[in-house]
Structure formats: C-alpha cells, structure tokens
Amino acid sequence: MSKQAIMAWEDLALGAAILKPGNAKELRTGDWRSMKPKLDEEKCIKCALCAMYCPEFCISVNAEGFYHPDFYFCKGCGVCANECPKEAITMVKEGE
C-alpha cells in the first residue's frame, strides 16, 4: 500500500482543525515567480505604497527605510512596480 497520508489519524487535532496560527508562512510561494521586482533606491521615496499594495504581504521596511520584498514569498506579480509613483521598481527576469 502506497503511503499518501500526511499524518496518522490519531495525530489530527479535533475535527481536523489547524492549531498553529499562520503556519502558511512555511510555504515557499516564491518559486511561482518568473519575474522579480528590482528596487532602485536612488528613486525610492520610501512612501510604502508597494508594501501596501503587495498581495503577498511580503514587502517590509529595512533598517535604512527602504521597502524590499521577501523573495521566499514574492510571486512576481508586478503590482509593486506598476503602483510605484516614482517608477523606482522594475520587473526583471528571474535569474538576471
């Protein structure tokens, strides 16, 4: 018999509930990406709109105040580049 199950039934929480809040952050969705955003810090005015509009909620501010995506999650949708009021973000091919 092939083993297909994630876990034994005895280990499931009551009613198959998920007890670890927000554990979807284990999931790497960055490998969906074919294009990636590249920030030109010269042009960036630190307005945070890219972070506000990121559907992956994966753009956060660094120590210098610049906003960068977490490439573990970034799916490369390009919304940040499209919405940047200063055109500081460009989409480049993954691996370039």
Partner 1 sequence: MLRDVDLSGYEKITAKNIPWEKFITSGHRACQGCAEVLAMGMVMKAAGPETIVCNATGCMEIITSPFPQSAWSVPWLHVAFENVAAVASGVESANRALERKGKLKKRPKVIAFAGDGGTADIGMQALSGALERGHDFVYVCLDNEAYMNTGIQRSSSTPYGAMTTTSPPGRKSIGQHTWKKNMAMIAAAHEIPYVATASPAYHLDLMNKVRKALTVEGPAYLHIFATCPTGWRSDPAKSVELCRLAVQSKVFPLYEVVGGRYIITQKVKKPKPVTEYFKLQRRFRHLTPDSVEYIQKRVEEEYARLEAFEKATAPLEEVSEPSTES
Partner 2 sequence: MGKRVGLEVSLAVAEAVKLANVDVVSAYPITPQTHIVEELSIYVANGELDAEFIPVESEHSAMSAALGAATAGARVYTATASQGLALMHEILFIVSGMRMPLVMTVANRALSAPISIWNDHGDIMAERDIGWVQIFAENGQEALDLTLCAFKIAEDKRVLLPMIVNIDGFTLSHVIEPVIIPDHAEVDAFLPPYTPVLRLDTENPVTFGPVGVPEMYTEARKQLEQAIIGSKPVVEEVLDGFGAAFDRHYKLVEQNGKPGAKTRFVTMGSLGETCMTAVDELVAEGQDAGQTRIRLWRPFPEEEFLAACAGAERLVVIDRALSPGAVCGPVASELKSLFYGRPDAPEIVNLVAGLGGRDVTVREFKEMFAMAVSGKLSGNYTMWGVESHAS
Could you list the residues that contact partner 2 (CB under 8 A)?
Answer: 4-9, 12-19, 21
DSSP 95: T
Say whether residue 15 binds partner 1 (CB under 8 A): no
Site for partner 1 in 54-83 (CB under 8 A): 54-58, 70, 72-73, 75-79, 81-83
Q: Residue 88: which of partner 2, partner 1, none does it interact with, CB under 5 to 8 A by kind?
A: none
Q: Residue 1 binds what, of partner 1, partner 2, none (CB under 5 to 8 Å, by partner type)?
A: none
Of 9, 8, 11, 27, give the one whose Cα is nearest residue 19: 11
